[in-house]
A and B are shown apart, each in its own frame.
Chain A
Amino acid sequence: MPQRMARVSWRLLLLGVLFCAAGLVLTARLAQLQIVSHGHYAVQAEDEHMGMEKVFPPRGAILDRNGYPLALTLDTYDIYINRKVWQDEKLAADGAEALSSVLGRRPDEILAALGPDTDGDALVAGSIGYDAGRKIIEMGVPGVKATATIVRFHPEGDLASALQGFVGRDQTGLSGLEADLQDQLGGSAGTLYFERDSMGNPIPFGYRQLTQSEPASDVRLTIDRYIQEATEQALDAAIEKNAANGGSIIVMEPKTGAILAMASRPSFKLSQLDLADETKMELYRNRAVTDLYEPGSVMKVVTMSTAVDLSLVTPNTTYEDTGMAYVGGYAIENWDFSANGTTTMTQLLQKSLNTGAVWVGQQIGPERFYDYAKRFGFGEPTGVGLGGEAAGTVRTSEDPEWYPSDLATNSFGQGISVTPLQMITAVAAIANGGELMRPYIVADVVGPDGSDETQPQVVRRVISESTARTLTAMMNDVVEGTPSHGARVQGYHVAGKTGTSFISVPGGYAPDRVITSFVGFAPVSDPRMIVLVKIDEPQGERLGGTVAAPVFAELAPKILSYLGVPPDAPALVQQGG
């Protein structure tokens, strides 16, 4: 009997030990779950139980200089369907039927939008109206989720598409001003934490915590919608007329640097935006600030300004034009292969003589030439605040790859690369009495804390006032002293200069590909606007004077009249009283 008891005790003891061990293991596991890994599992549980949504503040508006909206925000909803829930055919059919009346689509179209996948959410309708979205929420169709979002609306249509840019689905600016001014236009998104059910939908009256978003600001541009539209129409017409590849037009106030219009082609249309098409990627940039070109004879204005400012020449200084200039082993000819004999500086500009520009460049010398080029703003971004702005390429005499022939070609605008914005800013300095202004496009940012206005900023004095007056008179002579110059504007005295440059290709220049341009300002007595017209690779006519200058002549009177600038020629003024 004691032996049996001993056996039983041994078995019981073993069982007890096993139970104890199991208990210990369980306890240890519990301790590990509840104490050691508490944080990890707590986070997992919270993730499972809590949902998070970014709450965007209404994106700020983009306004033109007079306060007319160019881009606004509309509140919309994206409608998603949980594919797993809609695996039930009866439920899916009923749901599609219910949604069809609100979405204005047939039930079979809605079901087709789910695609072949059987899991995850399917976007069946994007950016539907706010009221329709609310209606769908109130319908409470199983498996249907409405996510609040916003969409950009452009009341002026495709006006200034490349300049304005666009936003992505996450309301972040992707290109143009929408991207450049993301901080101001976008504000700061808040976060909504909420308890959610097994389908991921918020539990009514469950836990909700909202961290407030920072409100966005409206941005008022210096762009004038009327001038912008006139500019785009003129550019499109010029490109079509000349069967050109593209072009740019910029309109600026020379005294402040405020940009009134900026258009470039080829570009995209906001109304036909298709981000899925990768071939259209290169249309999204604002070529007026990102693309470089050799300015051609417009650069002669800069060369001449330098020489006049250094008192090396006056408008009546002469040089002997033999039709050929030899520099560094290269022979440089005039664009029309002419030889003009004794020629004044004014005639040099009027006839746009390359040999004359080379002669003036030699008088200046490389150090002083490139010093002035830098002072005019070439070789560095203007600081306009637009993304992707190029600095341009100016090879100076300190550069090991520089050759003496570079000074010669640079003096008439070849071998130097600038952006259209740099070029107009440089010539605007002449119209502004010699002071280089920083171009700007944001007039003010109006936020909840008030308005932050951009003040015109003088970058530096480039040339003296007297030099600026002299050059203005010479440029006026270019337009009005040349018979039937294409840039003449009836009723206004205009100063300007044409340019035609060959496009550089590897190994040299393409003889049949040119860029034509014109920069002009008016009225000469008190310049109120300056316009740069650049037409790329025109077919047929291939000179700045016949391609770009007429565009200026068409556009300038519209702008001057719109700005309320009275004509200064007596021809159009009737004496009254």
Chain B
Amino acid sequence: MSALDRLIARPLPRPFPRVTGVRPVLVGAFLVVACLGLLQVAQTSSATTTGYNLQRLQDERFATQAGVHQLEAEVAVLTSIDRIDREARGRLGMVPAGTALTLEVHKQPPEQQFVPLRFLSETKAPQVKTSSWWQRLLNLLPFF
């Protein structure tokens, strides 16, 4: 009886647990969130790096621009009237011009200018006029 009771009291074997979709979804969601997080971190890091590079380039541009302005000022000082005057008097020993003398030449200029070559600008070879094949072809046609 007791054995029967035990038999009766023994719980029924539990059914094999059903595989539900909750856990994989959670795992998947975790992975997605992690991926998104990583993506966010990567993006933020990339944006920060780009921002840093941009700022560095901008600083470089400003520095170069400032350098250009500084050089412009130096060139302007070097070409200023005061400095030219100082250099002309001090270094070259020049003096202000006295009475200007103008020569009036009643003679035709020579056809060939006898100027030392070093004072002449380099002459470029005349460019040969080239025409395309169809222009040459047209030229062959009579009355054209």
Contact = CB atoms under 8 A, between A and B. Distances in A.
B40 interface: no
B99 A566 contact: no
A157 interface: yes
Nearest to A134: B63
B106 interface: yes
Contacts of A208: 51
9 contacts: A58-B69, A68-B76, A72-B72, A74-B69, A134-B59, A561-B100, A574-B104, A576-B106, A577-B106
Interface residues of B, number: 30
Contact of A155 (B66, B70, B80, B99): B80
Contacts of A193: none
A90 B97 CA distance: 65
Among B66, B69, B79, find the residue whose CB has the most chain A CB atoms closer than 10 A: B66
A576 B104 contact: yes
Interface string A559-577: 0010000110000111111
Given A58-B65, A68-B79, A155 B103 contact: no
Contact of A490 (B66, B70, B99): B99
A330 interface: no
Contacts of B101: 572, 574
B66 A572 contact: no
Interface string A172-207: 000000000000000000000000000000000100
Nearest to B82: A157
Contacts of B48: 205
Interface of B: 48, 51-52, 55, 59, 62-63, 65-67, 69-70, 72-73, 76-77, 79-82, 97, 99-107
Contacts of A73: 69
Give chain B's interface secondary structure class: helix
A314 B70 CA distance: 62
Contact of B82 (A58, A61, A156, A205): A156
A226 interface: yes
A51 interface: no
Given A574-B104, A577-B107, A205 B52 contact: yes
Given A58-B65, A156-B81, A205-B51, A72 B73 contact: yes
Given A567-B102, A574-B101, A155 B69 contact: no
A576 to B, nearest CB: 5
Given A155-B80, A576-B105, 6 more contacts: A75-B70, A130-B70, A155-B76, A205-B48, A491-B102, A575-B106
Given A567-B102, A576-B103, A225 B81 contact: yes
A556 B99 CA distance: 13
Interface of A: 58, 61, 68-69, 72-75, 130-131, 134, 148, 153, 155-157, 159, 205, 208, 225-226, 229, 490-491, 557, 561, 566-567, 572-577
Among B48, B55, B102, B106, find the residue whose CB has the most chain A CB atoms closer than 10 A: B102
Contacts of A205: 48, 51-52, 55
Contacts of A68: 76, 79-80
A574 B67 CA distance: 52
A134 B76 CA distance: 24
B126 to A, nearest CB: 32
Given A130-B70, A155-B73, A574 B62 contact: no
Contacts of A577: 105-107
A71 B52 CA distance: 35
B77 A75 contact: no
Contacts of A561: 97, 100
B66 to A, nearest CB: 4
Nearest to A72: B73
A572 B99 contact: yes
